[in-house]
Structure 1
């Protein structure tokens, strides 16, 4: 009988290798797809992108769980790695910072983004285990993303080159990244992947990737982001150094020249083309803007505060805060709050310096010295890993994976040192991918060591301590549930912000209270611009005269952001309209002197001081405002308006101030009007008009209410008050004139003309003021000939402001 023996156990089938490789590639493609996720109705694109990544992390963990036997070794290996230990220590420290956080809710909102990035790194590392040979396919995917993004950016640029202002056009080149600097940085970190494909592929593959590399570099140059220039130069420098090291080993000059040319030729050609394109774009411009050719932008890079776009000052502030809080900073994600007191004398209005433009310094300010050192240590460890991989006897593709992932990390490092990639999903996806590739290559090189006994012992010792793939996947899925919830709520809030924030620019809010009061989720409690959401909602309650509810929301807003003083500003308005002048003055003073460059805070304080009849306080506010924003007419105009409101007549001193303002801003129409009002009110009696005795009190109250509303720029109510006053006394033409000017200021020119006509027809006004404003209204309505005729009439009556308007509109 013939004996039958069992066949030997075979190595994994090629099909399984193909399947696993395809699934890994699909996972990488899905992570890269975050570049193409739009804002989906959100105020900032990162809301939808973080939510997408959190969901993807969860799905990847499910896949690992379903294939736990395939990824058991990968899970154990990554959790035994020193880089992972450091990364997890950073995550733990960031989590503990909630106890020191200024705003604990904002800390959680930002913390889940860090968790999302770390889980992406762990997922990719587990999936990549023993699959470094797939680096080429991953690099090809990234290279194609680079090609697509570059083509779209260049298409957008050439579409608007002849019709859009160059600065506006360049700022629009941001794809789905948030702004042009992030977009340029994301291109820089993709360049090494395209370069790897050129370095390793045959001539047919090189052509496509050369196109991706050239167009990517061309896009980087056109975007005009100086930090990306620095990153690109560092990548080029390290790559050339690698080529020289390879030359020392193989001694082949022609190979050195070819390899160096792979990057240098596209770089130089792209530089030449970008300069030509940008020079051509400048020829379409009426005036030179802030952006120019590549060589011009390179010339502005320098170690000065002006050259660094104020980054040096931001860095000093972060360093100073870290000195005072070395053990635990302001809490993860809370630098946007802690930085505000440093910036109050430098940043206008309610803008906040959300980032220090250096992730290392910002992390130190948020987590203390230990946090900053841990973040820096991540980069140091990867450099050490790359060097050790190159010195090992690993296969060449493993060494190349280590080197080119380090090149991408160099591009990321520059952006982290000059911007804030830690907040942006498109950059964090790359950080997760780059670090996973580098760590996996290093671990593969350790496997290839000739003496593997020590490694085997180390692995056996770690086996019992390190969680297998099942534990990892289950724990990750559990941890990602609250992360998904928080990222979804943040995305929902950003959708609400897109609706509400533009409405805040309207003098009278247009959205109904019942919509706004329920539009925001409970988390976060700050907008993407750092404003307290409760205080914003409170403003709608205030506008609807529900003052008690408004005050409660303002108090909650103060806790969310105690340094922006928006709630104090709004409380001043509440107390002003309730005629609680002392309380209004208290909160207006707190708000303004803590944000002395805020235009609206200054305006409110002037209105409150005018109602309080406190010219000394008006003077103090004026001199404070002009110390910071002297070259703006708004501060002078508010001062003149407030003081005139208090005095109820012009004085020589006030006229002198108006003349001083007009010497600085000779054509400003508001200042011209204020000067004329001062002249008109000097020595002219304000009484003598016939008012029925039983209506005198009502008449005076209406006039006072109209003046108060006008002083607060509440022109709609001012007009209503003056119209009612005019119905009581037809002799006092100033009521109709003031109503007309109120409508004029609201740009309701047709309505203003109705009341100007009443003044002109009464023939009681001889100063030409109504003729002047009616003429200006007609010009705004497109009736230039009629308007200019009235302006000439106003000039003939001695209305001095008419001359400037005639020169600019009636030539």
Structure 2
């Protein structure tokens, strides 16, 4: 190993190592690894910069023009980010992000100081360090899956992957971005020495397949293909040399794929498919060929990206504020979310568009210019090289940068410290290429003026580290409190901490935690737990006033008013949240209870329809709807069709199976139209359900002509389907065909389908519009006796 490090100063390698181990920094009790790791980098920046100041030779140089340009762009980025704060909803969030930008800039600077000295920097030595870290990461992943090789490949299995990145997508990106350095090591070594890097490459590729993220797989494929082509070209199109290098890589890649699909088998009698690696399901849905994806189309990256573009249009010059995209209105995303709680994407999943949305066109162009300058410098440097060693390392750096750029297009690596460290290495090395000095003279002292400036910068860096510590410290408290909130019900289970304790524990800065919960939201929930409802409502009002687009405090207000039995207030807030995010279960169930209490069956079943469009996996709601169909519509056949529809996507759900079994038994003993409905063939029931669903959709869209066609198709299959008769009556009334509406309502009334007074009231409206006041009066009177709300509002003078 001594020969590998002879070209470099050992202290430089210590600095490199200290930055590299960022990915091994644990959360230390923080809500997220990011807070701890950014604090570590900020502190390390101060220590390393002070070392440079106190050690002769490090800072006694002039910046080359490209380095000046690069750091000039970084300073402008910092300034634009600060200016964007004028548009921020949450200033705290912007300060945290600006602090991380400042940290990243000086991280690049500190590493540039190391890499600008070409005679104390070994390409192979550095690549070996990166590869060692990479092997450890990938070995952890492969070992995890190997020790659980008999477990099914499910979402739950993947959620248990050990890492320090926040989620597996980021882990996979961090691994694949470092892969080019290992390929460089493999290419540089000869003979039997290649066995070790080949083993490492096996683990890296296997880990990427096992993690199963498509972006990382795409980057891996591009890296391997470009590396192979580059080797073939640089080796002067030597087929023999290329075969010896590329063929082992291909064999190892195939072995890694074979290993990945042969463990965690979904079916005992066959290995997993390539698709199974990248498309996993929850264990309960594992053997369901359709699954919930057939029932709902969730908001994917495309919707999030469109939302970011809309935000850019709001403030095209300086954006909506650094770090504040997630606090702007997400109405276009929320309406289609499938989460049962108010949870939104905190990132755009595209760093380019996030820069555009948050810092405007100026920040976006500055962001792009970093990559442009980097590639310009790589091309300039590559053209000046004469040895294959230098050329391959340039290609290695280019591949790593391309990998980062691709990941930045689909994810948010800017937020993850370990990936930013890799990018800082890449950029610092590229800047080092532009240095004309072949060696740093260790005897040179910096001027007193430079020292004063340097210590001033070090003081600012120290203040920045303090700010990062505040973020980390708050994150620890947030994590402690959020564990309580996530595992216990604020309204029914006792929290470990009292409201007074939480007020004392919780720092004011930053105001919003990593998942978007405000300090006032947290205080409100602990106040609710202590039955201090008035205090809780004040905190929720404060939260709404600061983050007006957040639906979570409104959800809590609805739940609080519901507990206090203030129906009108509970209804107002529940409906506001439900209209914005119809997937939220708490508001759905509150509204359901209120509509049932008010006997508003039309609103009730519209509620079900809207909820199931975005959250069809709510089994409890399916069962409630089926029971409500039986109670209000007295239509067991329709209830059975709804159960069958749910079972198509959740065929192994025990509650649905049990409900269907009991319903079939009941239907087998019932006479009349219920018996007819139970004898309908399943395919007929399914067809009828589809027509009814389509008709309702057209009805809600006020396309009554198309709705009538679909409703009539239902009656062709089941002439006595009373819900359809009723909806047709309402339809004809709406388009003023009052005479045609009367027979439909009469059918519903005679068969005693609804006993809440609404059919009589609706038929009364038809008679009234036809100037048949006598029959209208009779129907209105019956409806009034049944306490239908609209009939109760009629003037007594009308009946006289």
TM-score (norm 2): 0.70
What are the residue-to-residue correspondences of 1:405-804 with 2, within 5 Å? 405-444=397-436, 447=437, 470=454, 473-474=457-458, 476-497=460-481, 499-504=483-488, 508-514=492-498, 515-610=501-596, 615=601, 617-630=603-616, 632-638=618-624, 650-653=631-634, 658-659=639-640, 661-665=642-646, 668=656
Across the two proteins, how many residue pairs are aligned to each other?
631
**C-alpha separation between the residues in 2 aligned to 1:466 and 1:618?**
73
Q: Deviations over 1:260-281 (max 9, x none)?
A: 754x334322332233223322
Higher mean C-alpha displacement, 177-186 vs 470-479: 470-479
CA shift at 1:322, angstroms? 2.3
CA shift at 1:205, angstroms? 4.9
> Kindly tell me: are residues 78 and 535 of structure 1, through their superposed partners in 2, closer, same or farther at Cα, counting changes over 3 Å?
farther
**C-alpha separation between the residues in 2 aligned to 1:265 and 1:497?**
54
Higher mean C-alpha displacement, 30-39 vs 306-315: 306-315
Q: Deviations over 1:584-624 (max 9, x none)?
A: 22212212111111112211222344556655543443332
**C-alpha separation between the residues in 1 aligned to 2:66 and 2:249?**
40
CA shift at 1:175, angstroms? 2.1
Which has the higher relative contact order, 1 or 2, with Cα contacts under 8 A spaced 6 or more apart?
2
Give unmatched runs, 5+ long, in structure 2. 280-293, 440-446, 648-654, 671-800
**C-alpha separation between the residues in 1 aligned to 2:517 and 2:35?**
17
Higher mean C-alpha displacement, 30-39 vs 496-505: 496-505
**C-alpha separation between the residues in 2 aligned to 1:582 and 1:675?**
35
Q: Could you tell me which of 326, 337, 341 is aligned with 1:336? A: 326
**C-alpha separation between the residues in 2 aligned to 1:308 and 1:618?**
24
CA shift at 1:328, angstroms? 2.6
Q: Deviations over 1:79-115 (max 9, x none)?
A: 9522222222222212222111122222222332222
Q: Deviations over 1:478-528 (max 9, x none)?
A: 442343333323432453255234225676233134254444332333332
2:241 counterpart of 1:258: yes
Q: Could you tell me which of 25, 28, 39 is aligned with 2:16? A: 28
> Kindly tell me: are residues 59 and 560 of structure 1, through their superposed partners in 2, closer, same or farther at Cα, counting changes over 3 Å?
farther
Equivalent position SS for 2:435? helix
What are the residue-to-residue correspondences of 1:362-377 with 2, within 5 Å? 362-377=354-369
**C-alpha separation between the residues in 2 aligned to 1:389 and 1:512?**
61
CA shift at 1:169, angstroms? 3.1
Equivalent position SS for 1:353? coil
**C-alpha separation between the residues in 1 aligned to 2:385 and 2:524?**
66
What is the match of residue 255 of structure 2? Answer: 273
CA shift at 1:144, angstroms? 0.9
What is the match of residue 388 of structure 1? Answer: 380
CA shift at 1:318, angstroms? 2.2
**C-alpha separation between the residues in 2 aligned to 1:214 and 1:409?**
22
CA shift at 1:415, angstroms? 0.9
What is the match of residue 183 of structure 2? Answer: 195
What are the residue-to-residue correspondences of 1:222-301 with 2, within 5 Å? 222-247=210-235, 251=236, 253-254=237-238, 257-258=240-241, 261-262=244-245, 264-281=246-263, 283=265, 285=267, 292-293=273-274, 297=278
**C-alpha separation between the residues in 2 aligned to 1:148 and 1:78?**
38
2:14 counterpart of 1:61: no
**C-alpha separation between the residues in 2 aligned to 1:167 and 1:379?**
35
Q: Deviations over 1:16-62 (max 9, x none)?
A: x9797211111111111122222333343223222222221222222
8 Å CA contact 2:381–2:433 kept in 1: the answer is yes
Give unmatched runs, 5+ long, in structure 1. 1-13, 299-304, 450-462, 683-811
What is the match of residue 57 of structure 2? Answer: 70
CA shift at 1:655, angstroms? 6.4
TM-score (norm 1): 0.69
Q: Deviations over 1:608-645 (max 9, x none)?
A: 4455665554344333223433564433445578x79x
* RMSD of aligned alpha carbons: 4.0
> Kindly tell me: are residues 367 and 465 of structure 1, through their superposed partners in 2, closer, same or farther at Cα, counting changes over 3 Å?
farther
Q: Could you tell me which of 50, 60, 69 is aligned with 2:38? A: 50
8 Å CA contact 1:322–1:365 kept in 2: the answer is yes
What is the match of residue 743 of structure 2? Answer: none
> Kindly tell me: are residues 437 and 505 of structure 1, through their superposed partners in 2, closer, same or farther at Cα, counting changes over 3 Å?
farther
What is the match of residue 720 of structure 2? Answer: none
> Kindly tell me: are residues 465 and 654 of structure 1, through their superposed partners in 2, closer, same or farther at Cα, counting changes over 3 Å?
farther
8 Å CA contact 1:222–1:294 kept in 2: the answer is no
**C-alpha separation between the residues in 2 aligned to 1:308 and 1:408?**
32
Q: Deviations over 1:312-355 (max 9, x none)?
A: 33323323332343223222122223363221122123221222
